[in-house]
Structure 1
Amino acid sequence: MTTPEQRVEELGFTLPAPAKPAGSYLPVVRTGDLLYTSGQVPVIEGKLHQTGKLGVDLGVDEGKAQARICVLNALAALKAELGELSRVRRIVKVVVFVASAPDFTEQPQVANGASDLLAEVFGDQGKHARSAVGVASLPLDAPVEVELIAEVG
């Protein structure tokens, strides 16, 4: 059976080292069988991959790619907490914040970058409830931020 980590690699991605908190918070909090990740921005090797707003500086496809990077960072945080991603029973909820122009309305399409990757990695257990929210700005001028809730066993 293929592990989630192997599936990430099969999809052509690399699971990064977990990001260190940039403030007074924990990367992951567990309560019962649920793990909540803090918001993850599209950081690669300690640097923000892209900056700007959707509908001004970036298009939907670029936003989807940034959302995938955020998910990889969230998965790295989960793995650091659990030891292995095969302990994830289900991705329960995903919240995707999209820094966007006032007239940009394609936040759900940007969020599909995160949702589709989770479904590809975990199969049906990766399908989840979701919110896609447009915001005026995000930390470090990140275009996208993703947080998720996972049920673990």
Structure 2
Amino acid sequence: MKIILSACLCGINCKYDGGNNLNDKAVELLKSGKALPVCPEQLGGQSTPRIPHEIIDSTGEEVLDGKGVIKGPEGDDVTDEFLKGAQETLKIAQAIGAEYAVLKARSPSCGFGKIYDGSFTGNKKYGNGVTAALLKRNGIKIYTEENIEELIDLI
């Protein structure tokens, strides 16, 4: 069984601010050999560190359908980079036969169930990030670090 895992959860410094979101359970999955770390934002061409971005007035599903944008607080449009990162992540997931993904909660790429609302105030809305939405559309079951134990119990 193979799992795609947000690289920041493994302690890899790829988060927008140059840091990571180290999660012990994610590291356990990585060490078990069952998980492969990826950072969709880096795969899409974003640098680290980078300014934060949010999905504006839509969700990841709508961005995939050409009906939404991802911007920074100054209005820079990085939608194409996020879409590229989602596509590259899907290619990797398909190449390894991944059935599951553990992604960073609330991220405009990886968020699942809830994401930041586009106001850059920390408020959240229901929806998925672009990568999470694309992986889900392609039959990959999504978890976040907030419910990673459910996946560990399953496998």
Give TM-score, length-normalised by structure 2: 0.38
Higher relative contact order (CA 8 A, sep 6+): 1
Scaled by the length of structure 1, the TM-score of the pair is 0.39
Instruction: Specify which structure has the higher proportion of strand.
Output: 1
